[in-house]
Structure 1
Amino acid sequence: MPTFQSDGLELAYRDEGEGEPILLIHGFASSLDVNWVGPGWFDTLTRDGRRVIAIDNRGHGASEKPYDPSFYGSDLMAGDALALLDHLDVARADVMGYSMGARVTALLAIRHPARLRSAILGGMGEGLLHGAPSADAIADGLLAENADDVTHPTAKMFRRFADVTKGDRKALAACMRAQRSLVSKDMLATITVPTLVAVGTEDDVSGDLDALVALIPGAEALPIPRRDHNRAVGDKVYKEGVLSFLARRP
């Protein structure tokens, strides 16, 4: 994959297709391949006539992986996303983030609305207002010698996911221990770009979908039936809902 420099780090990305650009930002312990290529998002969006750009967040995928928590935080990742758009000479793009990537997308919509055509927040409900649940337990679980020793349910879920995706668990633990870039209700009320919020109906990680939608002016809700946090990513309802949203947004 090609790379670019942001904040002194070398970060990887993909850039495929032609048409209106959409930037994809993956979730914690994932990567652009796991979050967007494998589940078919690149194929879906390029077939829809779009230029699809995705970033491997710092500490993830093929990007550089520092072990110091001070190198992490959603605000820094938002800066990386803007740096990638600048690197590719993209003035404005639709932006879709999943889970941690949705937090990054929300920060972009709040702080840099002129760079966004729209914001799509996947896998993130009212939990956007809070830090990652059980962050220290998750970090400890990532660093545990044996996955079977991890008993905290959320920590166990992320440890298993990191093992499957072959993530650098030391870098992921540093990312999880970083200071949260929190978003407030007042900040959400300033969002002016068209916004779609998509969450699985069985997702017990993201928080309430409708509660978040109510805080963002004009936002639309997209419940993904019978899907939890991980299984919602590649769901057909999610994809069709995003394509419909992109087709009718200003």
Structure 2
Amino acid sequence: MSEVRKDYVEGFGGTRLAIHSMGQGRPLVLLHGLFSSAQVNWIKFGNAQILADAGFEVIMPDLRAHGESEAPHDPRLYPEDVLVEDLQFLVGELGLDDFDLGGFSLGARTSVRGVLAGLEPRKLILGGMGLSGLAGWARRSAHFIDAIDRFGNIERGEPAFVAQAFMKTMNVDRVAARLLLGSVDDTPPEALENVTMPTLCVCGADDGDNGSAPDLAATLPQGTYKEVPGNHMSSVTFKEMGRAMAEFLQS
């Protein structure tokens, strides 16, 4: 297995962000999903290794309020689209001018918002994301806020139970996570005409959490859909995810 290197950069407001990287070659920035981390989404199950073996330097930040990055409790450090601000800081700090960009779930949402804010990756990967998911953040966010507000009192079988269990596993800072949830913006379908680079929409066969990935691919000017095994929680654990990403990036 390739060595995992760790560094830190400052994001918006001086928030300290942990950056994990593997491999050598063309830079690929990968963003993880909500309540997760670079370690869990990309490194633990071998997908980062697949991409490193394919000739990429895989750069995986922990989003603010996640993983080994800071989780400030000051509401002023969670302005609108703060994750996009952090992504822009990261790209600038690392001096990336020719790179690829991808993300899973919240990371996919942030990647799209980053492109709309002016980032210009050669290729884009959107994992675990569908068309209605980009535009329907209020409903999705309300589900997670409910899980935070009722944390410890959600019974097995309730819709929020899985989110509660994952927050426990990941030791999520719920104050910071709640603030972060309020900073994320919607992306209406008509805005996607401005996402002009080749884009892979890769999604688990049983993952409908963020709407239809095929519909998202069909809406994007250069969208391609690829199905992999799993649901929204498990698809990142299958190496088919990394293989689909590597094949797309190398084509």
SS in 2 for 1:117: coil
TM-score with structure 2 length normalisation? 0.89
User: Hey, what's the Cα distance between the residues in 2 that align with 1:74 and 1:96?
Assistant: 21
CA-CA distance at 1:138 after TM superposition: 2.1
Compute the RMSD of aligned alpha carbons.
Answer: 2.0
Shift of the 134–245 alpha-carbon distance from structure 1 to 2, 3 Å rule, reads closer
C-alpha contact 2:88 2:119 (8 A) present in aligned 1: no
- Give the distance between the partners of 2:78 and 2:43, measured in 1 at CA: 24
Q: Distance in 1 between matches of 2:113 and 2:151?
A: 35
CA deviation after TM superposition for structure 1 residue 66, in Å: 1.9
- Check the 8 A contact 2:28/2:99 in 1, yes or no: yes
**Matched residue, 2:198:** 194
Runs of 4+ off more than 3 Å: 68-74, 147-152
Per-residue deviation, 1:147: 4.6
Structure 2 alignment gaps of length 5 or more: 1-5
Three-state SS of the structure 2 residue aligned to 1:4 is strand
Q: 1:235 aligns with which of 235, 238, 246?
A: 238
Closer/same/farther in 2, CA of residues 57 and 170 from structure 1, 3 Å limit = same
Identity of aligned residues (%): 30
Q: How do 1:1-250 residues align onto structure 2 when only pairs under 5 Å count?
A: 1-7=6-12, 8-68=14-74, 71-72=77-78, 75-114=81-120, 116-126=121-131, 127-149=133-155, 152-153=158-159, 155-176=160-181, 178-225=182-229, 227-248=230-251
Output the amino acid matched with 2:168: D
Distance 1:234 1:161 in 2: 15
Equivalents in 1 of 2:32, 2:140: separation in Å?
Answer: 20
Q: What letter matches 1:181 in structure 2?
A: D
Q: Secondary structure at the match of 1:189?
A: helix
Q: Report how many aligned residue pairs link the two structures.
A: 244
CA shift, 1:144, in A, is 3.0
Change in Cα spacing, 1:66 to 1:201, as seen in structure 2 (3 Å) is same
